[in-house]
């Protein structure tokens, strides 16, 4: 079964898919930590798991911010990973894989950092860079199959 794994960009695809998954996991961790530090949880049953916390109708501000950064990831990263896989399956070069997937990973990591640190307009710039990278892959995908 060397067919697929011999694709030039497969190595870059695997490395950056794993890194993107870890980056999303890091935001989930930041959310948990914000909930722990703020001592505010939504689910009453989470009080014993976060000693000293109280169940309230709304999360603390830091938790809400981490959740917004996470939701932005969820809105974008899985779709990118699928398009990156399709791009790899079309036999794109290893260089194309390293550049496209690498730039996207850097853009999304910066987006998360800028979101958590409340840095604008750099957060929007990092978001735009990620979207442009995905647009490049979409153009190449469509040109490949037409």
* Dihedral angle sign, alpha carbons of residues 88, 93, 95, 96: negative
Among 35, 70, 108, 111, which residue interacts with its own copies (rule: CB under 8 A)? 70
DSSP 50-105: STT-EE-SS--HHHHHHHHHHHHHHHHHHHHHHHHHHHHHTT--HHHHHHHHHHHH
Beta carbon nearer to its own copies, 86 or 106: 86
What residues from 114 to 133 belong to the interface with its own copies (CB under 8 A)? Answer: 118-121, 123-124, 131
Beta carbon nearer to its own copies, 37 or 46: 46
Is residue 51 a contact residue for its own copies (CB under 8 A)? no
Is residue 145 a contact residue for its own copies (CB under 8 A)? yes
The torsion of the CA quartet 126, 131, 132, 135, rounded to 10 degrees, works out to 170
Is residue 55 a contact residue for its own copies (CB under 8 A)? no
Neighbouring CB atoms inside 10 A of 48's CB total 8
Cα–Cα distances (Å) from 49 to 22, 32, 38, 41, 54, in that order, read 24, 11, 14, 10, 11
Beta carbon nearer to its own copies, 52 or 120: 120
| Residue 96 C-beta: closest distance to its own copies, Å | 13
Task: Tell me which residues touch its own copies (CB under 8 A).
Answer: 1-8, 10-11, 13-15, 17-18, 20-22, 24-25, 28, 42-46, 48-49, 64-65, 68, 70, 74-75, 77-79, 81-83, 85-86, 89-91, 118-121, 123-124, 131, 134, 138, 141-142, 144-145
């Amino acid at each position: 079964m060397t067919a697929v794994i011999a694709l030039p960009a497969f190595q870059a695809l695997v490395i950056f898919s794993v890194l993107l998954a870890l980056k999303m996991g890091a935001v989930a961790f930041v959310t948990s930590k914000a909930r722990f530090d703020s001592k505010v949880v939504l689910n009453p049953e989470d009080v014993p798991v976060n000693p000293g916390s109280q169940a309230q109708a709304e999360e603390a501000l830091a938790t809400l911010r981490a959740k917004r950064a996470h939701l932005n990831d969820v809105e974008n990263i899985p779709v990118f990973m699928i398009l990156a896989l399709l791009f790899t399956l079309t036999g794109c070069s290893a260089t194309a894989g390293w550049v496209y997937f690498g730039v996207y990973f850097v853009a999304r990591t910066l987006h998360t950092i800028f979101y958590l640190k409340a840095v604008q307009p750099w957060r929007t710039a990092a978001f735009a860079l990620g979207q442009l990278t995905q647009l490049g892959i979409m153009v190449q995908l469509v040109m490949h199959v037409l």
